[in-house]
Amino acid sequence: MTEIKKAIKQITGRGMIVPGNDIDTDQIIPARYMKVVTFDGLGEYAFYDLRYDEQGNPKKHPFNEPRFAGASILLVNRNFGCGSSREHAPQALMRAGIAAVVGESFAEIFAGNCTAMGVPTVTLEGAAIQALTKIVDADPTVEMTLDLPSSTISCDGREFPFAMHPSYRSALIAGSWDSTSVLLSNVEKIESLVKRLPYLNGFAHG
């Protein structure tokens, strides 16, 4: 079996600001673009209905702004990625070049999906995200570095300590974020649990 293991410790890149609370995964990728049997090619549909009008003309959206072209770190606000569990949403973002998401808070399934793809989701307090957003807004060419071992983002000579789900952080640093092989290494324990679970054993007690 192919071993997929890639430690993710540092991500450096330019920021892109997608402001607003409660941005749901239907916004990130409209359902009609999920009629596919592979994730390839989803990148072009990221935020599609916010980027294009019903005739296909571009609208004002960060993903259409030339100043953010090539950015890899997404700056967002509260409850980003809420709603549908569709992994198509973070897959679309990743395939559009996003390598990390920095926000005030994330919906749980979204954050889990990102981690399983090797994309860190880290949280900053409201004031810190505002300060970071201000720096990027003033100069989108400025680079920032997200450092997982020290849990800080450094940008423009400033340091922003971030919070992150501790197990997501350690899985990314250890390169065990692609969990299949880790889980499968415990197959004997899995099978022994199968023999104990009441509903798989006729509810026999004892």
Partner 1 sequence: MATKRNLFNTVWDLHKVGTLESGQDQLFIGLHLIHEVTSPQAFQMLEERGLTVLHPERTFATVDHIVPTASQERPFKDRLAEEMMQAIENNTARHDIEFFGLRTDHQGIVHIIGPELGLTQPGMTIACGDSHTSTHGAFGAIAFGIGTSQIRDVLATQTMALSRPKVRKINVTGTLQPGVYAKDIILRIIAELGVNGGIGYAYEYNGEAIHQLSMEERMTICNMSIEGGARVGYVNPDEKTYEYLLGRRYAPRGENFERAVQFWSEIASGEDAEYDDVFELDANTLKPMVTWGITPGQAISVDDRMPDPDRLPEEQRDIAVKALEHMGFAEGDRIRGKKIDVAFLGSCTNGRISDLREAARIVQGKKVARSVRAFVVPGSKQVSMQAEREGLPRIFQDAGFEWRGAGCSMCLAMNPDKLEGREISASSSNRNFVGRQGSPSGRTLLMSPAMVAAAAIAGEVVDVREQIADLQPVG
Burial state string for 119-134 with b = 16 or more CB within 10 A and e = fewer than 16: bbbbbbeeebbeebbe
Q: Cβ 68 to partner 1, closest distance in Å?
A: 20
Nearer Cβ to partner 1 (31/69):
31
Nearer Cβ to partner 1 (22/139):
22
Q: Please, are residues 51 and 58 in contact by the beta-carbon 8 Å criterion? A: yes
Q: Cβ 160 to partner 1, closest distance in Å?
A: 20
Residue 189 burial class via C-beta count within 10 angstroms: exposed 0-12, middle 13-18, buried 19 and up: exposed
Q: Please, are residues 15 and 130 in contact by the beta-carbon 8 Å criterion? A: no
Nearer Cβ to partner 1 (66/149):
149
Q: Cβ 28 to partner 1, closest distance in Å?
A: 11
CA atoms within 13 A on the CB side of 110: 28
Can you give the binding site for partner 1, defined by CB under 8 A? Answer: 1-2, 4, 20-22, 24, 26-27, 30-32, 34-39, 49, 54, 78-79, 82-88, 90-91, 105-109, 112-113, 116-117, 165-168, 170-171, 174, 176, 178-180, 182-184, 186-187, 189-190, 193-194, 197-200, 202-205
**Pairing state between β 121-123 and 100-103:** parallel
Q: Cβ 102 to partner 1, closest distance in Å?
A: 17
Q: Cβ 99 to partner 1, closest distance in Å?
A: 16
**Pairing state between β 143-147 and 158-161:** unpaired
